[in-house]
Amino acid sequence: MEPEVVVVLLTVGLLCIVGASLLSGAVRLAAPLLLVVVGSVVSFLPGVPLLEIEPEWVLIGILPPLLYASAVSMPTMSFRRELRSITGLSVVLVLVSALALGWFFSAVLDVSFAWGVALGAIVSPTDAVATAIARRVGVPGRVLTMLEGESLLNDATALVLLRSAVAAGAGSIALGGVALSFLWALGLAVVIGFAVGWLLLLARSRVADPTVSTVLSYAAPFLAAVPAEQLEASGLVAAVVAGMVTGYGAPRLLSPRARLSDTQNWKTVELVLESGIFLLMGLQLHGLLTHSTHGDGTLVLVSWVAGVGLLFTLLIRAGYVTTLIIGQRRRTKRFLGMEERRAAIQDYIEQRIADPHLELDPPQVDDHRPGGRGPRGPLRPWAARRAQQRQDRRRTLRAWSADRLEMFQTRLRRQRADLDYLLNQPLGPREGGLLVWAGMRGAVSLAAAQTLPSDTPSRAALVLVAYFLAGGSLLIQGASLPLVVGWLRRPDSPEDATAEADERARVIDLLHQVSERERTAEQGRPMKQLRLDVLAAQRAALLDARDDGVFNADVLSHALAVVDAAQIGLELRGGPDG
The pLDDT value recorded for residue 400 is 56
CA distances from 384 to 234, 338, 377, 387, 562 (A): 44, 18, 11, 5, 53
Mean pLDDT, residues 485-490 taken together: 84
The pLDDT value recorded for residue 373 is 44
- Residue 71 and residue 80: Cα distance in Å, rounded? 13
Confidence of residue 426 (pLDDT cuts 50, 70, 90): confident
Lowest-confidence pick of 118-122, 129-133, 140-144, 423-427:
129-133
Confidence of residue 374 (pLDDT cuts 50, 70, 90): very low
Task: Name which residue leads in pLDDT, 402 or 9.
Answer: 9
Contacts made by residues 167-171, CB under 8 angstroms, sequence distance 24+:
168/114, 168/117, 169/112, 169/114, 169/115, 169/118, 169/456, 170/453
> 573 in helix, strand or coil?
coil
The pLDDT value recorded for residue 357 is 56
Q: DSSP secondary-structure letter at 360?
A: -
Which residues, listed in sequence order, are joined to residue 368 by a DSSP beta bridge?
Answer: 375
Mean pLDDT, residues 107-113 taken together: 88
> 375 in helix, strand or coil?
strand
Percentage of the chain exceeding pLDDT 70: 83
Closest CA to 314 of 165, 157, 111, 469: 469
Closest CA to 44 of 245, 286, 212, 307: 286
Which residues, listed in sequence order, are joined to residue 375 by a DSSP beta bridge?
Answer: 368
Is residue 312 within 8 A of residue 99, CB to CB? The reply is no
Neighbours of 491 (CB within 10 A): 5
SS3 letters across 110-176? CCCHHHHHHHHHHHCCCCCCCHHHHHHCCCCHHHHHHHHHHHHHHHHHHHHHHHHHHHHHHCCCCHH
pTM of the model: 0.83
The pLDDT value recorded for residue 120 is 93
- Residue 463 and residue 474: Cα distance in Å, rounded? 17
**Backbone torsions φ then ψ of 128, nearest 5 degrees:** -65, -35
Is residue 32 within 8 A of residue 129, CB to CB? The reply is yes
- The sign one gets for the Cα dihedral 132, 133, 135, 141 is negative
Lowest-confidence pick of 59-63, 144-148, 182-186:
182-186
Lowest-confidence pick of 82-86, 272-276, 424-428, 571-575:
571-575
Lowest-confidence pick of 118-132, 256-270, 286-300:
286-300
Confidence of residue 394 (pLDDT cuts 50, 70, 90): low
The pLDDT value recorded for residue 522 is 63
The pLDDT value recorded for residue 377 is 53
CA distances from 172 to 161, 164, 169, 454, 455 (A): 14, 9, 7, 18, 16
Task: Name which residue leads in pLDDT, 23 or 496.
Answer: 23
- Exposure class string for 560-575: b at 16+ Cβ within 10 A, else e: bebbbebbeeeeeeee
Lowest-confidence pick of 161-175, 423-437, 463-477, 539-553:
161-175
Closest CA to 87 of 275, 327, 296: 327
* Distant-in-sequence, close-in-space partners of 429: CB < 8 Å, separation ≥ 6: 325
Please give the mean pLDDT across all residues of the chain: 82
pLDDT in tens, 273-283: 888 888 888 88
Confidence of residue 367 (pLDDT cuts 50, 70, 90): very low
Cα first-last separation, the chain? 56
Confidence of residue 197 (pLDDT cuts 50, 70, 90): very high
Lowest-confidence pick of 334-348, 484-498, 521-535:
334-348
Domains and CATH numbers, the chain: 3-333+425-488 (1.20.1530.20), 338-367+381-424 (no CATH), 497-571 (no CATH)
Is residue 32 within 8 A of residue 24, CB to CB? The reply is no
Task: Name which residue leads in pLDDT, 405 or 568.
Answer: 568
pLDDT in tens, 505-550: 988 998 999 888 887 776 667 888 888 888 999 999 999 888 887 7
- Residue 444 and residue 129: Cα distance in Å, rounded? 8
The pLDDT value recorded for residue 486 is 86
The pLDDT value recorded for residue 109 is 87
Please give the full DSSP string across 463-481, using - where no structure is assigned. Answer: HHHHHHHHHHIIIIIHHHH
Mean pLDDT, residues 424-437 taken together: 89
The pLDDT value recorded for residue 52 is 74
- Residue 35 and residue 362: Cα distance in Å, rounded? 65
The pLDDT value recorded for residue 175 is 55
- Residue 239 and residue 537: Cα distance in Å, rounded? 31
Lowest-confidence pick of 306-310, 397-401, 493-497:
397-401
> 368 in helix, strand or coil?
strand
The pLDDT value recorded for residue 348 is 66
Confidence of residue 319 (pLDDT cuts 50, 70, 90): very high
The pLDDT value recorded for residue 190 is 93
Is residue 333 within 8 A of residue 370, CB to CB? The reply is yes
Mean pLDDT, residues 548-561 taken together: 85
- Residue 72 and residue 264: Cα distance in Å, rounded? 13
Which amino acid, residue 474?
L
The pLDDT value recorded for residue 393 is 65
Mean pLDDT, residues 253-274 taken together: 91
* Helix (H) / strand (E) containing 297: none
Is residue 354 within 8 A of residue 346, CB to CB? The reply is no
The pLDDT value recorded for residue 371 is 45
pLDDT at 496 over 80: no
The pLDDT value recorded for residue 258 is 92
- Residue 32 and residue 42: Cα distance in Å, rounded? 15
pLDDT at 161 over 60: yes
Is residue 197 within 8 A of residue 180, CB to CB? The reply is no
Q: Of 316-325, 409-418, 508-517, 553-562, which one has max mean pLDDT?
A: 316-325
- Exposure class string for 538-555: b at 16+ Cβ within 10 A, else e: bbebbbebbeebbbbbee
Mean pLDDT, residues 73-90 taken together: 88
The pLDDT value recorded for residue 368 is 46
- Residue 148 and residue 85: Cα distance in Å, rounded? 12
For the chain, give the number of residues: 578
Alpha helix stretches (DSSP H) within 205-255: 210-230, 235-253
- Residue 127 and residue 440: Cα distance in Å, rounded? 6
